[in-house]
Amino acid sequence: MPKGDRNNHEISKKRRALINSVANPELRNILFKESLQEGGENVCVGKSVFFYRGSNLRFGRNVCIGENVSFMDEKMIKIGNNVWIGEGTIVYSGVEIGDNVWIAPNSMVHNSLYVSEKNREARNKNKNLGADEMYIEHLAILTKDLEKMREFYEKYFKAKSSERYHNKKTSFQSYFLTFESGSRLELTTKKFVSERRADSLGYAHLAISVGTQKDVDDFAERFVAEGYPLVNGPRTTGDGYYEAVIQDPEGNLIELTTDYIAQD
């Protein structure tokens, strides 16, 4: 390693150690911002952040970084505005992350990421959230067979899965599934899981818009043909949905719907 690079590496190592030794979140955010090549207004940083240089990091505004996130910044990494990076994520050298991108925990980001045009309008509505402007970030399902459930939602609903997260101390494991609309579903499992009783209080169903009424009919026929129970429909409900209700591999109810049409 050339002498100049070696000196820069040692400086970065000391800077990381200082940032991660600070318990006060506000001071940690200030120190991290000072390590960046550019930007970092209103950045928030979790514990145990890692970077090689810091001078190869360019941040936009309102970036939130979870704990144990690593930036492999041998080459420039650019982060846009209003970005959330989940804990345990690794962002690799040369990657660019666009505005309004949310990255699931324990992801491995090898390629640049941008919000699609289809998602951009919905995300922009939420980019400056206040106490009176909230939204559902994701739903979670506790499962017995994590892999089977992941494959089901990937196959039928085109969900994209994160890397599998495994906490060996607690036995907790999970995937985050992201749908084309930007909605997210977390599938989880752990060592001891009790059976869910029918019609118990709490989670009732997941509704997924699949397109037109014909799409609902086609999906319902496909699920029946492939052995999944059709619980109800297809039909138009009194509150304005055209839907069919099926079950996923572990019996959770899924409403296959068209977009909601408000009634006069």
3 state SS of 19: helix
The CATH number of 3-124 is which of 3.40.50.720, 3.40.50.150, 1.10.490.10, 2.160.10.10? 2.160.10.10
- What's the pLDDT tens digit per position in 103-146? 888 888 888 888 765 455 555 554 444 444 445 667 888 888 99
User: Which tokens is 223 given?
Assistant: 């699920």
Task: Give, in words, the CATH class of 139-258.
Answer: alpha beta
Distance CA 185, CA 205 (A): 13
Taking the whole predicted model, whether its pTM rises above 0.85 is answered as no
Residue type, 143: T
Q: Is the pLDDT of residue 263 over 50?
A: no
Q: Where in 66-138 does DSSP place strands (E)?
A: 70-71, 77-79, 83-85, 90-91, 96-97, 102-103, 108-109
Give Dmax (Cα) for the chain: 74
Q: Is the pLDDT of residue 87 over 60?
A: yes
Distance CA 242, CA 254 (A): 13
- What's the pLDDT tens digit per position in 8-50? 556 667 777 777 777 787 888 888 888 787 788 888 888 888 8
3 state SS of 153: helix
Q: Within 10 Å of residue 59's Cβ, how many Cβ atoms?
A: 24
**Selection from 204, 172, 205, 209 nearest residue 190 by Cα:** 172
User: Which tokens is 131 given?
Assistant: 């106490």
Q: Which residues of the chain form CATH 3.10.180.10? A: 139-258
Taking a C-beta distance cutoff of 8 angstroms, is the pair 50, 16 a contact?
Answer: yes
Q: Which residues of the chain form CATH 2.160.10.10? A: 3-124
Strand pairing of 90-91 and 70-71? Answer: parallel
